[in-house]
Amino acid sequence: MANNVHNFKVVLVGEGCVGKSSLILQYIENTFNSSHITTVQASFLTKKLNIDGQRVSLAIWDTAGQEQFHALGPLYYRNSNGAVLVYDITNESSFPKVKVWVKELRKMLGNDVCLVIVGNKTDLEKERHVNLQEAEQYSEAVGAIHFQTSAKLNEGVEDVFLALTNKMLEQAAKQRS
């Protein structure tokens, strides 16, 4: 088993402009763009990781601007091992959208899908409109890990994907046994 590569599919979901594409670009290419990223060429980008000798290949899927569940179509989220549900801490309505996505993803992918909920744009703390405690409590209640990030300052971004990968590895080990 040690030489096998774990291939995991991860989807990013959330309202438009919360920073999904920015998080992916910061994680994979270490760049940040202050304008809305409209041209993501590939439907997914890959990242290779080695965690305690376990090789992992992450296929990270971006929405390409299709933020509605039904607009995305089943190809997008089908066979996902994990999902990153993103809201913008300065955008009040982006958090309830996450709750809708949690329900949809659980329904579609089952209870085993690994979920991480991310409050992005922490560099704009002064403009916060989503209560942190509420977001943390909700995440715990639905069995998701909660993180805060700034894609702009590259804060917490790596932690999100690392925690999610660890959770997916745990899940894979559980399914093998």
Q: Which residue in the set 21, 90, 94, 122 belongs to the binding site for Mg ion (CB under 5 A)? A: 21
Residue number with CB closer to Mg ion (30 or 111) = 30
- Least distance (Å) between residue 121 CB and ligand GDP: 4
Which partner in Mg ion, ligand GDP, none is near 172 (CB below 5 to 8 A by kind)?
Answer: none
How far is residue 176 CA from its own chain's centroid? Answer: 24
Residue 123 φ/ψ region, left for φ over 0, alpha for ψ in the -120 to 50 degree band, beta for the rest: alpha
Binding site for ligand GDP (CB under 6 A): 16-22, 33-37, 120-121, 123-124, 150-152
Residue nearest to Mg ion (CB): 21
The yes or no reply on residue 22 touching Mg ion (CB under 5 A) is: no
SS3 176: helix
Structure tokens at 169: 């590895």
Distance CA 41, CA 63 (A): 11
Q: Which stretch binds Mg ion (CB under 5 A): 6-14, 17-25, 112-120, 146-154?
A: 17-25
- Least distance (Å) between residue 65 CB and ligand GDP: 7
Residue number with CB closer to ligand GDP (21 or 81) = 21
- Least distance (Å) between residue 37 CB and Mg ion: 5
- Least distance (Å) between residue 164 CB and ligand GDP: 17
Distance CA 156, CA 118 (A): 10
Residue with tokens 């949690």: 102
**DSSP per-residue codes, 93-139:** THHHHHHHHHHHHHHHH-TTSEEEEEEE-GGGGGG--S-HHHHHHHH
- Residues in contact with Mg ion by the rule CB under 5 A: 20-21
